Amino acid sequence: MAATTRLISRLALVTGGGSGIGRAVCQRFASEGALVVVADLNEEAANETLRSLSRDHKVQEHMAAAVDVSSKQSVEDLVESIQRRYFQPASVCVNAAGITQDDFLLRLEEAAFDRVVGVNLKGTFLVVQAVAAAMVASGVSKGSIVTVGSIVGKVGNIGQVNYSASKAGVEGITRTAAKELSRYRIRCNCVLPGFISTPMTDKVPERVIHKMTSLVPLGRMGEPAEVADVCSFLASDDSRYITGTSIEVTGGLFMG
C-alpha cells in the first residue's frame, strides 16, 4: 500500500471503526494524513483502533468515541463532540457500522428484521443526515460521505432478507443524498463489498465460505484493506467528479 498525503488536513469520521472494514478505513485514512475520529458501539474496540493509527500530527490527535448509529441522540452527541474537540465538523465520513442477524425468510423474527434495519438502514440515514447538516452549517468546501452497502443488496442472499433489504436501502439513501447535497459541495457514494474477511464473516460456516469463494472470479475472499483503498479514493479529491455511485469491491462476484 502506497502511503500518500492526499487526505492531509481532512477530518474523517468512521463509524464501525472498531473492527473489520471500519478499522482498515481508519488506518488507511490516518496513513494518508487525515485526522480520524474512530466511532463504534464497542468503545474499547474503538480505542484499540485508535492506538494502531499513525500519528504525525503536530497539534491535534485522532480520537475514539462510543456511538450507537441507530440512536438519533447518540449520533447527534457524537457530531457535537467532534465540533467541540476540533472546532470544525468532519469533512469526510465513512459509515461502516453494520450488523447481520440471519435467518430464512419463513423463520425470521420481526425483532431481527427491525434490529438489522435499525442499525444498517436507519443508522445510515441518521449518520448521513447529522454529518451533512454539520457540513452545511460550516460551509464546508468539499465534503465526502461514503456509505457501506453490500453486493447482497443488489442480488439478495439466502438467509439475509433483513440484511439485503437494509443494504439495498443504503444505496437509495446514498443516491438521494448525492442529489440533494451536491449544491453544498458534498459528494456521497457507496461501496459494495462482496465477501470480505472480517469478524462479521467469521460467523459464516466454513462450507458456505468455501462455496462462495469458489464463485469469486478472483478466487478468494477480499481483505478489509482492499475496501479501505476504495473508501480512500472516494474520500479524496481523486474522485472529485464522482457522486451518487456505488462501487463493487467483490473480486468480480455477481458481475454484470
In our burial notation (b when 16+ CB lie closer than 10 A, e otherwise), range 86-105 reads eeebbbbbbbbbbbbbbeee
Q: Which of 31, 91, 150, 162 binds ligand NAP (CB under 6 A)?
A: 150
Does the annotation count 241 as an active-site position? no
Report d(CA 255, CA 249) in Å as an integer.
Answer: 10
Q: Which of 38, 196, 234, 253 binds ligand NAP (CB under 6 A)?
A: 196
Radius of gyration of the chain (CA): 17
User: x/- binding map, residues 91-110, to ligand NAP, per CB under 6 A?
Assistant: -----xxxx-----------
Read out DSSP for 82-103? HHHHHSS--SEEEE-------B
- The least distance separating ligand NAP from the CB of residue 8, rounded to whole angstroms, comes to 26
Report d(CA 239, CA 77) in Å as an integer.
Answer: 30
Q: Which of 32, 40, 171, 229 binds ligand NAP (CB under 6 A)?
A: 40
Asked if 148 touches ligand NAP (CB under 6 A), the answer is yes
Binding site for ligand NAP (CB under 6 A): 15-16, 18-22, 40-42, 45, 67-70, 96-99, 119, 123, 148, 150, 193, 195-196, 198-201
Question: Which amino acids are annotated catalytic?
Answer: 163
